[in-house]
Structure 1
Amino acid sequence: MGKDKGEYSFSTCWNIKRHQTGSGMIEEIRELGFRRVELNYNVSPELLATIEPMIERGDIAVSSVHNTFPHVADPDYGTDSVLLGFDDEEKRRRAIELLIRSAEYAYRYGAKAVVVHPGEVPFDYNIDQALKKIYNEEGPSSAAYAKLWGEMLERREALSDRYLRRIGDSLEEVCERIDAKGWKVAIGIETRSRCYQMPTLREARAVFDRLQGARVGLWYDFGHGMMMERMGLYDNARDIEAIQDYVVGIHIHETVGLSDHWCPYVHSGDMAYFDRFLPIIEAAPVKVYELKAACTPEDIELSHDRLLAKLAAREG
């Protein structure tokens, strides 16, 4: 049994593929010392059947749920989608309804937030995958990378205002309807892992400026932030100031190269880069580890110990 992790929560993305029952999945997370979980978007109604009694008994608390929740098989409403920015009004309406459904589950389980991937500037192929391939094979300073990055950025910048406006419209409606129901649940728009996806930190700030007082904030995913910085989309250290007062939750993980969901300070061997996120970790109302299956319980324990030591040193 791992040491009690206190206020820190842990995402079911770590072990969901290993379990046939929800209770078995949650029990394994409890053995790491976590008393809170984030239920991710692959959690099905079948898995919930054995998780809900654990929530009701107080065996586990739910910090957050990840839209679309419970699992929806349709990729149009999956994690890599135009979602709240759809041109197609019928699809956008469905995306709104599904996000409200996720918020209803969050409210029912006593969770503080819903994590949502709000949208993207659509491309006719996965240009992010092509860019990452060049990045890994030829490097980010190669001519091939610069050329394709320029093409991506040109389209992204030409269309981002249009999609951001529609995402804002959708979030405004979602927040109004959640407020009308009296659900004290925050909507956290997550920093993303593909360069054509939204929002950047500055795009997020534009949404918050528009929707002042609404129950929407930033879900800061540090690993994704690291990836986007390496690829050239934004600079975390520079842009953090613009959004630090709007953070409603965080995903704690680290990126090795362009591979994410590793344990901070452990898999990269870098004891300094991740420090820029420490002030955000201290202040975040919801703190969730989002780690891949390859991270062992020993890795997780070591990473958490190192993180706590870093935070203690800041206080000291």
Structure 2
Amino acid sequence: MRDKGEFSFSTCWNIKRQPDARAMIEEIVNLGFRRVELNYNVTQRMLKDIEPMIECGKIVVSSVHNTFPHTADPDYGTDSMLLGFADETKRKKAVELLVGSAEYAHRYGAEAVVVHPGEVPIDHADVKMLEKLYHEQGTESEVYLQAWRLFLEQREREAESYLKRIAVSLEEACEASESRGLNVSFGIETRSRPNQIPTLAEAKNVIDRLRGAPVGIWYDTGHAIMMDRLGLYDSVGEMNGLMDHIVGVHIHETIGLSDHWCPYVHSGDREFYDAYLPMIERAKVKVYELKAACLPDEIEESHRLLSTKLAARGRERDHANY
């Protein structure tokens, strides 16, 4: 497999299939990736095998995914209120864990921490119902539009208090990070469920509130596509005000509402994903975040297509500026 250069690859691809940490990293290196994102399922025990591979230069850590290393407490898992907890003790604990993730990122020379900020606590069954209606009725159906309208009313009614606490939590994490000399950025990630924070407008709101802090958006392309399809936001048009604030991207495509597939390859569409190339270009950290079902040859072909398209865009830009 050819060298993937500046592109990084997330351990989410094989961490559940390959519990041996050294073998897990070797599989990623064999795909041609020297840069690796350590995701939130990497445990303290696994790091004992991974750290020597970092120290000897076998891999470079591009980013770590909060909460890192893995915590078994679901209150601080990937789908919780995290930085938006109304309970002050829990919120403070979430901030401490985020700063802990930043300490690991700094130690490993990573550029960023991927952050799931939180969510509006809407019953998961209501969210699943929206997804069911999407598949069975379509977003133009009256039954979907009615359910979506009720969902949005609740979300908009409750979101602001969580956003405020998330902004305070991020500010505290940045202050603690600065005081400890940690040279990392925090990227708040676009999420995969419509009750989760942030929307693109919410991301801009938080970034504007924390102007000057090392906080930007982590643009997860597949998640943004899903939210666009459900009707939460325009995943391309609403990025205009955020292009200068992209910390990193997760590269993957969505088929319907199924995410983490290889761009261009699994959808069979050679053009749709082109709309997300500008975000990938602008990101400081570019990470493939693919599911285990993606095979090495499919990953190679996907990267060939994506990198060829990015190179063509670069040539067009150079020609226009000549």
TM bucket (normalised to shorter chain) is over 0.9
- Which letter maps to 2:52? P
CA distances 1:255-277 after superposition (whole Å, capped 9, x unpaired)? 00100000011111112221111
Question: 5+ unaligned residues in a row in structure 1: which ranges?
Answer: none
**Separation of aligned partners in 2, 1:17 and 1:238:** 36
- The runs of at least 4 consecutive aligned structure 1 residues that moved more than 4 Å come to none
Most deviating of 292-301 and 122-131: 122-131
Alpha-carbon shift at residue 142 of structure 1 (Å): 2.0
CA distance in 2, matches of 1:82, 1:148: 23
For 2:232 and 2:91, how far apart are their aligned partners in 1? 26
* 2:187 matches 1:188: yes
Q: How does 1:241-256 map to 2 (within 5 A)?
A: 241-256=240-255
- After superposition, residues 292-307 of structure 1 pair within 5 angstroms as 292-307=291-306
TM-score (norm 2): 0.96
- Amino acid across the alignment from 1:65: V
Structure 1 residue 220 corresponds to structure 2 residue 226: no
In 1, Cα distance between equivalents of 2:237 and 2:19: 44
Q: Does the 8 A contact of 1:13 with 1:292 survive in 2?
A: yes
Residue in structure 2 matched with residue 70 of structure 1 by the alignment: 69
Deviation, 1:78, is 0.6
What are the equivalent positions in structure 2 for 1:1-316 lying under 5 Å apart? Answer: 2-316=1-315
- Shift in alpha-carbon separation, 1:183–1:253, aligned structure 2, 3 A: same
Name structure 2 gaps, 5 residues minimum: 316-322
TM-score where L is the length of structure 1: 0.98
Deviation at 1:18, TM superposition (A): 1.4
1:16 match: secondary structure? coil
State the AA in 2 paired with 1:53: P
Using the TM superposition, give the Cα deviation of residue 125 of structure 1 relative to its aligned residue in structure 2, in angstroms.
3.5
Whole-angstrom CA distance in 2 between matches of 1:184 and 1:20: 30
Match of 1:307, as an amino acid? L
Amino acid corresponding to residue 305 of structure 2 in structure 1: R
Question: What SS does the corresponding residue of 2:32 show, helix, strand or coil?
Answer: coil
For residue 320 of structure 2, what is the aligned residue in structure 1?
none
**Offset at residue 283 of structure 1 (A):** 1.7
| 8 Å contact from structure 1 (residues 201, 242) kept in 2 | no
Greater shift in the superposed pair: 218-227 or 12-21: 12-21
Q: Tell whether the 8 Å contact from 1:249 to 1:284 is kept in structure 2 after alignment.
A: yes
Cα distance in 2 for residues equivalent to 1:253 and 1:294? 13
Give the secondary-structure state (helix, strand or coil) at the position aligned to 1:91: helix
CA distance in structure 1 between the partners assigned to 2:179 and 2:215 by the alignment: 15
